[in-house]
Amino acid sequence: MAVSRRVRDFLKGLYDCISYVTVFWWWRLIRRLRTTSPKQVLLDKLEAAHNYGEWEAAAIHFDAVLGNDLWRGDSATKDYDRRLITARTAQLKDALREHDLYTMLHTLRSGLVRNLGNITAPKLYNRAYAGTKYEIEDYVSTVGIAVQHVTQAPTGPSHKLRSQQKLDVLHDARLALGRSCLVLQGGSIFGLCHIGVVKALHLRGLLPRIIAGTATGALMAALVGVHKEADLLERLSGEGIDLSAFAAASERAADAHGGRQSATGWLSTLWRRAQRFFKYGYVLDVKVLEECVRANVGDMTFEEAYNHTKRVLNITVSATGGGVPSLLNYLTAPNVLIWSAALASNASDARYSPITLQCKRPDGTIVPWDIPAKSTVKPAKRAYGRTPSTDHDRDTPLSRASELFNVNHFIISQARPYIAPFLAPSLHHSSSPRSSREPWSTYLMRLLIMELQHRLTQMDMLGWLSPGLRRLLLDESVPGASWTLVPHVNWMDFARLLRNPTREEIDYWILRGERSVWPALSALSVRCAVEVEIDRGYQLVRRRKPFDMEPPPPERPVDVEGDSRKRRKFRAASMDAG
């Protein structure tokens, strides 16, 4: 009996011990799963930020937790030429300290390169959220201060620098550095993200003066290209855009259903828009779209917009013949109305589009353009292995912009709904929420998209893709360095494609567009801050030059009596010598 009692006590104690340990660790595991880690809390703050100030504060804190602030201060790296950057920064700082204009002018004329020492490599911006190496940021800010010093340097006969010399230096520096172009691509309701991209760049002083747009991006580019710098911010919101045309269209649709929304309304909307896309090449009703664009842009031509804002607006159209340029701007189509070009850009295939470009005569009357936007001329069939000279290459618009305006850097905002969910932006942090949740699926999806793009390119080379499908499925070749911005889109956002734009919808997509820019602001600042400063200084000196012209030397007053005395003395000396 005693032995059996001891065995029972031992087994009971063992059971109690195992039960206690099991319950203890089970509750620890549940609390661990329910408790959000500090890293995830900071990531959630980054995703939930409503302005750049909130995002930057969370990014700085996150970098401190991960130790990325130490990485930013560590100069031991092979990703860029640290010695060159440090030497150039020290040279400019010494010149600024000693007011050495010659060194600053020499640096701006001959040593200014956008990717000096490989400082624009994407690898330098995928680590920390709040910025890159402190030495790179110090170099860019020092160059900007040097440009400001040259711009504000006094000129005149009593100074070392003259107005024309200063203007020549800034002009040559701008020409050597090149210019940036903001490209807005796509895409139905997702294209409203472009407004947020423009807003974020504008608030940080990084918005390029050259803007190009395609499809819905052309509508957004037109909205930006017709407003001055001071009036632009109030237009970049749901309150600043006139949506009365869409509101009237929604009311007409509701009246058609007896004042109520049909239970199958979304199916009829989907079917109607699909029919419109396959028949004409666009999704939204062109009449409603025309009313909306004209209400926000007006009957302004490309040349009038440039003279009004000094922004270079470019709109890409898909022209298959008739001599229509594929890139419309104030040089190629100065008298064309912007709203008609934006509507033509929304047609995926100009051969089947009923849209006709409109132009304005000198007397103000609006007439169809001499060269129609649509052409019944079919493009020539391409033979196997070669491309005839009559066929236009799909990278012509951006190449044309590069040729016309000295563009060698492109900021591409990609928002096409059938591509955006699968694209990876140029900036992807290793600890970002998207990459940490789906690392392998995102990588495999990227490989799949690359393979699909390669096969589509081969089909295009064989002539198997129509111009509409080519524009729909293939990306344009970028003739220069580029940086891609892609908004974070989830699958629930595709349901918004069937809705008409409202102020709430616009504000929703504007915030999505802004959030796609905030992580890339550090990289874009290194790429564009010096360019913006040089352009600002050039425009300032150019405006000041007529008022800063060096005064001509004062005319010597005529002394008649003194001149006559000199002549008499000269004649007397000549007679004595004879």
What are the start-end ranges of the E strands in 379-437?
407-414
Query: Who contacts 313 (Cβ-Cβ below 8 Å, separation ≥6)?
Result: 211, 213, 221, 222, 224, 225, 226, 302, 305, 306, 329, 330, 338
Q: How far apart are CA 15 and CA 93, in angstroms?
A: 75
Most confident range, picked from 114-118, 317-321, 381-385? 114-118
* Cα separations in angstroms, 169 against 53, 143, 149, 155: 36, 14, 13, 14
Confidence (pTM): 0.79
From its phi and psi, is residue 322 left (phi > 0), alpha (psi between -120 and 50) or beta?
Answer: left
pLDDT band at 9 (very low <50, low <70, confident <90, very high): confident
As a whole-number percent, the residues of the chain with pLDDT over 70 amount to 68
Q: How far is CA 53 from the centre of its chain?
A: 20
DSSP state of 181: E
Q: What is the mean pLDDT of residues 557-577?
A: 48
As a whole-number percent, the residues of the chain with pLDDT over 90 amount to 25
pLDDT band at 522 (very low <50, low <70, confident <90, very high): very high
The count of other CB atoms within 10 Å of the CB of residue 293 is 24
Does residue 53 have a pLDDT over 80? yes
Does residue 78 have a pLDDT over 80? yes
> What pLDDT digit, counting tens, does each position of 161-214 carry?
788 888 888 999 999 999 999 999 876 777 788 899 999 999 999 999 999 998
Pairing of strands 210-214, 179-185: parallel
DSSP assignment of 524-558: HHHHHHHHHHHHHHHHHHHHHGGGSPPPPPPPPPP
CB-CB contact of 89 with 142 (8 Å): yes
Query: Who contacts 179 (Cβ-Cβ below 8 Å, separation ≥6)?
Result: 208, 209, 210, 405, 406, 407, 408, 409, 531, 535
CB-CB contact of 156 with 162 (8 Å): yes
Q: Give the pLDDT score at 234.
A: 84
Q: How far apart are CA 443 and CA 433, in angstroms?
A: 14
